[in-house]
Structure 1
């Protein structure tokens, strides 16, 4: 069911942001997130935390050495606000090489402090009070927080089951667009479900965005973690480029999430407006990391494909382990994540929020932690309430130990 969430304009920004991200407690004040509660329980019980979506291994040694060399060479002061030319040129070349997109590296690429800042700058640049922003649930909580900060209306359309995958519900998506639609945010591959959207789904969104004069902001940080089919960006759909801002980063691609080196690309006139906001958020990001990432995008030395294949093998490992312990899994088409419904020994089949019940019990009862999918839904929603998200971007030994613990705990 589509949810339209708007916020009291009299509320202070911090309260709107917390409400938009679903972080308000019963008393109307920000409380601990499910992530914090699960993390604390995992630490208390010595559980393996498969809830957080970051790798437990660093990226390639040659990439780390490149950043260290730049630091030693004195590249430690402010970078240009738009980003180093070397990285902007490398991003433009990557987009052309991988997707056939033609970008002006001087005006069509903006370097940001990770993808998070890129999305923030884009939404704050274009969303005005009362404007509607469409996202697809379950969804990253940043989207809701930013829509609330901009005093917009968050239109949340849940994905629907299509056999062994999830899909955009055509009728609900079509109905969600209207005269106030300003932006549609497409996270592809999709966190937390692992869905890769199809050509037909992207074409539908482009058609609707064009019909209603809306912009498309794509969150493509998992572009190189695909399993069903090579990633295809919405910006490459005929007629889409002039209204599309594409976001990605080095964090997931090169296993350096802490570097916070991302970018947003698109038509120069749109990038110029995003830059007007971004320059007052972080101004610039680290020059040594930009230099290292530029070199990696130019020549990744086979890392991207090797890492993708390794991740695919880990996916198979965890799917098998979960299923052996009685979990009902949804095979992800991309990303780092698997959604799974718990067995009866962890939560009742009649419990509409069985995922949350199981996730809260997991650290103590199994020594493994996951995040309930309700953390990515509107407060109180039971849609996707039965599933738990597990991250499989960990070392094989860690994953094997986690799966053994789950199997041992099963009656």
Structure 2
């Protein structure tokens, strides 16, 4: 018997089926990007797929003249998105800065998808990221057989973006060793990548730019040099301003993830989503939502991204081991795992919060009991 590849389903929009577990932004939202491009009559920078106005509309959402609804990818201050998009239209690189879970990676991916139609020119920063990941590497078989040549050179995502006039992405920049970070200085200042082995260089063509993300909590890991930081325009992504905004963000994202995993619809569990968000915000802020009771904060970040994870896992529990409706028992274990990172100190914080706040709150009895059960 001859094995054949499983058929793939092409993605044409947010709701279209796909074989990919997590389609790239330009694939998952292809229909919206196409609709924007068709109706976008504003000036576009060189090699941009959309105008700056259309890029901002793609991220923030809106309704086009023909009635096409563009779903919001980022829920937050409009000015932040406008500054970020404008930065990419200049020769300044963009640094998205914020605490964990403020959608830095999400925003960078969607910006690249809207600007260049390709969000895959990505360097993932880690403590082990080598210089070659930002500059270039070598095909050693070619190198040994024929010596240094352009055929033997393996371009990095940044190098490819420079040559093609596209947007490159560097995730978790402050996780990258300082000497590797500094390879970006010449690229961002001179728009040139020297190849001394060949006596050549790659010059960035119009349309090239770079988006980097960095974590506020990573200060001191590998701080950016002042020389490198000057090459970036920094945009700080804040935490959601209100409970309603955060509930909206969590609901939208969980709904997207849930559809790909065939989980129950989010509206059936909106009360539990609000409860998860409320708990995270109160512990994060160190005070209850009514401002009357101060509480201790645990060591974890309790970010919006973690709230999304807790609710998604709860939906999976309710779908596979419950009645399909999100209930307190489905999210209790996830909340405990998010809050109690330090088994000694955080467990005390959580127990005090349960007894002083959750126990006394009207309508939270089932949630209190579920949390006590998993915390025992």
* TM-score band, normalised by shorter chain: 0.3 to 0.5
Give the TM-score taking structure 2 as reference length.
Answer: 0.35
Instruction: Give 1 or 2: higher strand fraction.
Output: 1
Greater relative contact order (Cα 8 A, min sep 6): structure 1 or 2?
1
Q: Which has the larger radius of gyration?
A: 2
Give the TM-score taking structure 1 as reference length.
Answer: 0.33
